[in-house]
Amino acid sequence: MKVLVVGSGGREHTLCWKLKQSRMVKKIYCAPGNAGIGLVAQLVNIKDNDIKGLANFAKKNNIDLTVVGPELPLTLGIVDEFQKRKLKIFGPSRAAAEIEGSKVYAKEFMRKYHIPTAPFQVFSDSAEAISFIKSAAMPIVVKADGLAAGKGVIIAKDQDEAVEAVEKVMVEKTFGEAGNKVIIETFLEGQELSVMAFCDGKNIQIMPPSQDHKQIGEGDTGPNTGGMGAYCPVKFVDDSTMTFVREHILEPTVAGLEKDRRAYKGILYAGLILTEAGPKVLEFNCRFGDPETQAVLSLLRSDFARICMAVVDGKLASLDDIQWSSGSAACVILASRGYPGKPEVGKKIFGLRNYSDKKCYLFHSGTRKEGRNWLTNGGRVVGVASINHDLQAALSRIYEVVGNIKFDGMTYRGDIGYKANVQIKSIKI
């Protein structure tokens, strides 16, 4: 069959790479893609927010399945448009995708269906938000309501930082219309965890848990980014914790969305924190995480295209044999100087080649090609991923390859996976 992947980052490169391994898939297109994705798919010059243009392409080229990577086209209603034209597409409807598109909606949904999350208040007036801060216990978390490329969450250690965050989001409009409302919520302590699940509207299949590294600096310092690295699975998460996540978070969320006539198909991503009182939801995403996907899908042994079709057709329950490798996988992001602010681009990249012989794979996030030269073309440039018998072996391979890649201003974290062996306190479930 012919597959169209929508998006242009490292996640989409990973999706194309995994789809290419399927016996079912004969041709892969990616819109708009990037130069690295062009190594495994035919690039199509259509932006991911051009919903009608993408639908026209899929119809004209008899695309059998479209897989959507980023959140923007999902929140714009790409699934609704494709379904209207009888085109098969993997992802949630516009109404269901609001669980990521609006943090206010997501928090109110969780309160309605008793899904564990931090206490919160919603503000549409900056003065009221600042007044609330002056009587709030610190630290607190300030979140922009709308999409902010993973950068709209600010942890404030004191009142000054909290006020500055509100002004940045609501007054200065750093994240545009996403900052029309803010959530101010209680800061929760614990290990963070990413759990993704395939959903077909009623049924779910949970993937191995992973851990993302959001902040730019080692030791989780500096501003939030879209993600600087990830590893999978997370060994300190036991079966009872995953059972709780299934029974008290993921299944009630899917059931609640169906009850609200927002039946959810695609990937449901739960960003969790393991508190002493049990797992709680920090955020929901309506798509694969980036860079979690680079680690998690590296471990998938079953046919990815077959799973996607089962999700679209509402037949996920029939796939009781989804298999995962027993080893560990990780991904380290190489970013440009200036990221997550204004990144420098156009820098020549040295050392990009096929490292698969070393159990290492390069997933391009922001690259372009000029003649025979590879150039940087975004904040996150390349994800170096590996799968091996254990996490340390995978990371050793990755950092060996990272040492061979160079570009002016290249930055990365050398401590991905540093919390993998922590001993967490007993969780009350």
The CATH number of the domain holding residue 25 is 3.40.50.20
Reported as a single tens digit per residue, the pLDDT across 308-331 is: 999 999 999 998 789 999 999 999
Give the dihedral sign, CA 389/304/256/144. positive
The position carrying tokens 């959903």 is 199
Residue 349 sits in a domain whose CATH number is: 3.90.600.10
Residues 128-145 pLDDT 10s: 999 999 999 999 999 999
Q: Which residues contact 404 (CB under 8 A, 6 or more apart)?
A: 351
Q: Is residue 100 part of a domain?
A: no
Q: Domain boundary residue among 288, 318, 348?
A: 318
Task: Say if residue 72 is in the same domain as residue 124.
Answer: no
Q: Do 228 and 312 lie in a common domain?
A: yes
Has residue 107 been placed in a domain? Answer: no
Residue 420 covered by a domain: no
Domain span holding position 36: 2-91
> Which pLDDT score is estimated for 389?
95
The model's confidence at residue 392, banded by pLDDT at 50, 70 and 90, is: very high
Do 284 and 203 lie in one domain? The reply is: yes
* Residue that terminates a domain, selected from 168, 186, 204: 186
Q: Are strands 229-232 and 211-212 parallel, antiparallel or unpaired?
A: antiparallel
User: 387, 394 in Cβ contact below 8 A?
Assistant: yes
Reported as a single tens digit per residue, the pLDDT across 229-246 is 999 999 999 999 999 999
Model confidence at 423: pLDDT above 70: no
pTM score: 0.94
Q: Is the pLDDT of residue 426 over 70?
A: no
Assigned domain for 292 exists? yes
- Per-residue burial over 346-360, b if 16 or more Cβ lie within 10 Å, else e, is ebebeebeebeeebb
Q: Are residues 301 and 202 in the same domain?
A: yes
Measure the CA–CA gap between 411 and 429, rounded to whole angstroms: 40
Q: Provide the pLDDT confidence category of residue 296 given band limits of 50, 70 and 90.
A: very high
Report yes or no on 114 lying in a domain.
no
Query: 175 pLDDT exceeds 70?
Result: yes
Tell me the pLDDT tens digit for each residue of 73-98. Answer: 999 999 999 999 999 999 999 999 99
* Maximum average pLDDT range among 170-179, 349-358, 384-393: 384-393
Is residue 207 a part of any domain in this protein?
yes
Please count the structural domains in the chain.
4
Residues 78 and 22 both lie in one domain:
yes
Residue 169 and residue 144 in one domain: yes
Position 395 in a domain: yes
- Asked whether the predicted pLDDT for residue 295 surpasses 60, the reply is yes
Whether 305 maps to a domain, the answer reads: yes
Same structural domain for residues 56 and 128? no
Q: Do residue 230 and residue 296 come from a single domain?
A: yes
Query: The domain spanning residue 197 has which CATH number?
Result: 3.30.470.20
Provide DSSP, 83-151: HHTT--EES--HHHHHHHH-HHHHHHHHHHTT--B--EEEESSHHHHHHHHTTS-SSEEEEESS--TT-
Kindly state the average pLDDT of the residues 167-194. Answer: 94
pLDDT band at 424, cuts 50/70/90?
Answer: low
Q: How far apart are CA 294 and CA 290, in angstroms?
A: 7
pLDDT at residue 429 greater than cutoff 60: no
Virtual CA dihedral for 341, 342, 346, 349, nearest 10 degrees? -10
Tell me, what CATH number does 172's domain have? Answer: 3.30.1490.20
Same domain, 69 and 45: yes
Both tokens of 130, joined, read 């600042």
**pLDDT-based confidence at 425, cuts 50/70/90?**
low
What would the mean pLDDT of 149-176 be, rounded to a whole number? 91
Q: Do 123 and 208 reside in the same domain of the chain?
A: no
Q: Which residues pair with 190 in a beta bridge?
A: none
Split at pLDDT 50, 70, 90, the class of 428 is low
Residue where a domain terminates, one of 171, 186, 201 = 186
